[in-house]
């Protein structure tokens, strides 16, 4: 098993280059930029129903987790959409639906990239493509909201449980450690759903967690950490790009993130090719 996984990893890296993975990552970065503000509008609208402190708590956690320049850019985007995030009127609901559709542009691009990775043509009828696009966007959005809620509310819940059991701050400390593996599993699940439904491929069954999903998350963590270290010690973006340095930093980080996601998809595809019956074109 170990040798098979290592061989699949080597093939995945090779296929990433053959399939134009860097170009696809750049394309997904473009669609990601177009989708981030509409996507944030939808997410912030839902989180805002739980109170303004919820959004602020999410921003605080982003500040403590992401590299400084990236956290500043994302938090600035959240601030800009927060003023338009109410769902209190029909017009606002329509606006949120339009924003949801705009955010699905990234998923549509990922579906095309996944077809390239799995070496299958896009043979799905239009209705099936659109329904898959909408369903995937909704699934990704719900999982992102779940991650935000875990970060924001479970600390208070752990504190309440700790007080009730007489554990005091020990319960909060334990949860602050345990919540990160939980978040890794949730994001891995999100990637597993994308890898399963995005390509026009027929898989043998859905797996809640896949090796590629876990690889993508771990690779994203490593790349984000290394990029954060680079920004701390060797940052030349401010000198080169001046006032737009923050935007450029975010674009580079987003492309690195997309490369990690695509490499995870390549890895799952190679593992499935080891068992030919597990994946095939899903023609209508």
Segment among 59-63, 87-91, 135-139 with least mean pLDDT: 87-91
Q: Cα dihedral sign for 32, 36, 38, 39?
A: positive
pTM exceeds cut of 0.85: no
Q: Where in the chain are the domains?
A: 2-281
φ, ψ dihedrals at 203, nearest 5°: -90, 160
Q: Mind listing the pLDDT tens digit for each residue in 191-243?
A: 999 999 999 988 878 888 899 999 999 999 999 888 888 887 776 776 777 77
Q: Mind listing the pLDDT tens digit for each residue in 144-171?
A: 878 877 776 655 655 665 566 566 566 6
User: Residue 166: left (phi > 0), alpha (psi -120 to 50), or beta?
Assistant: left
Using CA atoms, how far apart are residues 195 and 20, in angstroms rounded to an integer? 18
For residue 277, the model assigns a pLDDT of 47
């Amino acid at each position: 098993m170990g040798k098979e996984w290592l061989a699949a990893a080597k093939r995945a890296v090779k296929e990433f280059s053959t399939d134009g993975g860097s170009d696809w990552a750049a394309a997904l970065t473009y669609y990601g930029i177009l989708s981030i503000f509409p996507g944030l509008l939808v997410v912030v609208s839902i989180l805002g129903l739980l109170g303004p402190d919820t959004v602020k708590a999410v921003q605080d956690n982003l500040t403590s987790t992401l590299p400084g320049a990236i956290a500043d850019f994302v938090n600035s985007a959240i601030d800009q959409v927060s003023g338009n995030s109410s769902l209190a009127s029909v017009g606002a609901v329509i606006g949120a639906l339009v924003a949801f559709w705009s955010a699905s542009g990234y998923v549509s691009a990922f579906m095309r990239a996944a077809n390239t990775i799995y070496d299958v043509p896009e043979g799905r009828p239009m209705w099936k493509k659109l329904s898959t696009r909408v369903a995937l966007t909704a699934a990704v959005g719900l999982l992102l909201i779940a991650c935000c809620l875990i970060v924001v509310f479970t600390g208070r819940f752990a504190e309440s449980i700790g007080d009730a059991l007489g554990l005091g701050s020990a319960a909060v400390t334990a949860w602050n450690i345990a919540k990160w593996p939980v978040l890794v599993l949730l994001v891995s699940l999100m990637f597993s759903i994308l890898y399963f439904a995005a390509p026009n491929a027929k898989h043998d069954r859905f797996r809640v967690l896949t090796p590629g999903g876990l690889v993508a998350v771990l690779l994203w963590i490593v790349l984000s950490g290394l990029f954060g270290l680079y920004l701390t010690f060797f940052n030349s973006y401010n000198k080169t790009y001046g006032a737009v340095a923050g935007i450029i930093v975010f674009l580079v980080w987003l492309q690195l993130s997309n490369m990690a996601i695509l490499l995870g998809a390549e890895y799952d595809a190679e593992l499935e090719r080891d068992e030919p019956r597990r994946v095939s074109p899903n023609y209508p």
